Amino acid sequence: MNSPPPALILASRRRALTGSSRSLSRAYSKGELVRVRAGAYYNKPAWLSLKAWERYSVTVAAVAATDPSATFCYLTALRIWHLPSPRVPDHVHLLTPSPHKAGKHPPTTTAAQDPKTGSSGLEAARGYGVSRHHWQASVVRHRGFGVTSLVQTVLDCIVRMELPEATAVADHVLGGRCAEGERLTRNQIEEASGFFASAAKRRRVLEVLAFADEAAESAGESRSRALIHVLGFPAPVLQQAFYDSQGFIGRTDFFWPEFGVIGEFDGDAKYLDDDLLGDRTARETVLAEKKREDRLRALGYTVARWDWKSVKKPDLLGQKLAAAGLPRRNPRRVDQTPWR
């Protein structure tokens, strides 16, 4: 079992315990600590070993620890609510009551420079700035943070995201993958959208809700379905069950019965997540997937598979679906976002 990552080291706590936080300044000067924000430090080797999402989460925790009044919103709130995020944000997003304080600020994470090389060691470790937003919002406490309410967070993100990312958020919060208390109904989202002064934003929410489907089982499937729509391909049936003479084969992510085509999104977690692997090894899971696909093909279906690379580069997905025999009608440019 992996050991938990080290905790933030707070100057305020050190002063309360020992009467002084000078030891932290000395450790920082020696290159042993990273200053995530003023008054919040982290073990430097551990910081450099963190993945981007982990560094982002530590930065959020540092902001909360050094500013008890901080209220997180938008993409940061999305993360706190455990909703699918399109990418690691460039900034920690906060609400501000003053329009004059709204705006973006550069990363504050620093480390002392090595006197011999002039390097801080953080050159390849991305830091995160703060982006303050001034808008009306309902605020709650969740997982120890001041954060916009679940429905507020969903609305704030839907009206600012492109369709694939907005669909992933809507599918997740409407479906059964959420923890208790982290799920919404269509009526709740639609009713809350009525508080938007902008008619365009209200229409945008209704558009995404009309497209949302609770049957989607992952963010990758949701984003794929939205891209399938934007690329001009027919709408698929989700989670179709298949059987042969041996019995149940499985449920597929996407199915186009009119064209005899099955689509499967392969997320990395299927082969790397211990909870999803169960008692199987990754190699055994790959072999089981191959046998499953062989049984589907034996029924006369064409099987198209894609992964995150194709979702991030939609032209690749379009090529795979066209090669499988799906017709394409009136595609839109994937980067068009007329609702913004």
Residue with tokens 């009713």: 191
Cβ–Cβ < 8 Å for 69, 36 = no
Q: Which helix (H) or strand (E) holds 193?
A: helix 186-193
Residue 102 has pLDDT above 90, yes or no: yes
Residue 335 has pLDDT above 70, yes or no: no
Separation of alpha carbons 144 and 157, rounded Å: 21
Cβ–Cβ < 8 Å for 292, 277 = no
Separation of alpha carbons 22 and 40, rounded Å: 13
Mean pLDDT within 66-83? 95
Separation of alpha carbons 207 and 228, rounded Å: 16
Neighbours of 221 (CB within 10 A): 24
pLDDT at res. 284: 64
- φ/ψ region of 320 (left if φ > 0, alpha if ψ in -120 to 50, else beta) reads alpha
In this prediction the pTM is 0.86
Helix pair 163-174, 199-211: axis angle to 10 deg: 60
3-state secondary structure 50-65: CCHHHHHHHHHHHHHH
What pLDDT band is residue 180 in, cutting at 50, 70 and 90?
confident
What pLDDT band is residue 271 in, cutting at 50, 70 and 90?
very low
pLDDT at res. 268: 55
Beta bridge partners of 241: 251
pLDDT at res. 280: 53
Beta bridge partners of 104: 131
Give residue limits of the domains in the chain.
Answer: 219-323
CATH 3.40.50.300 correct for 219-323: no
Q: What is the pLDDT of residues 285-321, one digit of tens each?
A: 677 788 989 999 999 999 999 999 999 999 999 999 9
Pairing of strands 261-265, 247-256: antiparallel
